Amino acid sequence: MKRQGRRSDCPISFALEAFGDTWSLLVMRDLLFSGKSTFSDFLRSEEGIATNVLAARLRALEEAGLVRAEGEGRNVRYSATAKGLDLLPILLEMIAWSARHDAKTAAPPAFVARIQKDRAELISELREQLAGGQTEQPKSKGQAPKKR
C-alpha cells in the first residue's frame, strides 16, 4: 500500500520535509537568532530571497507547525511555535559545525564558545526570550549571531 504525503517514516526524511530546504532554515535562523518577525524583515536578509519564495516558505513553515502568523496584511508578525523552538539545538549545532569547518564563518567566536561550553543554558535562555516575545538575544557569555 502506497503512503500518502510522506516518502517514508525515516526521521531524517520527516525533518527534511518539515524544514530541510535552504530557505526554510534561513527563515528560521532569522526568526530565532536575528529577531526578524515580518515579511519585510525576512526580505532584507543578505541572501536575497525572492518574495514568492519567501511567501511559500512562510506558508510551509506555518503548515508544518513551526511558525505562527499573527495579524493581517502588512501587519502580520511571525513567531516560532514550541515546535519551532525545538529547532534551536539543531541550529546551534549547525553554527558550531560551520565554525569548525568554515574559515570565513560570520559566527562570533564568543557565541561559538558559549555553544560549546554551556549549550543547555544558552538554549534555555533563547527559548525563554523567544517564547516571551523578546527579540533581544542573550548578552552574557557571548552574543547570538546576527547573520549566518
Q: Where in the chain is the domain with CATH 1.10.10.10?
A: 11-81
CB 111 within 8 A of CB 105: no
**Count of other CB atoms within 10 angstroms of residue 64:** 15
- Return the closest-CA partner of residue 81 out of 62, 94, 54: 62
Topology annotation, domain 11-81: Arc Repressor Mutant, subunit A (1.10.10)
Please state whether the predicted TM-score (pTM) of the whole model is above 0.95.
Answer: no
pLDDT single digits (tens) 47-75:
999 999 999 999 999 999 999 999 998 89
Beta-bridge partners for 77:
70
On the question of pLDDT at 87 being above 90, the answer is yes
Q: Please check the confidence at residue 145 and state whether its pLDDT lies above 60.
A: no
d(CA 69, CA 83): 14
One-character DSSP codes across 94-138: HHHHHHHH-TT--S-HHHHHHHHHHHHHHHHHHHHHHHTT--PPP
Tens digit of each residue's pLDDT (9 = 90 or more) over 123-142:
999 999 998 765 444 444 44
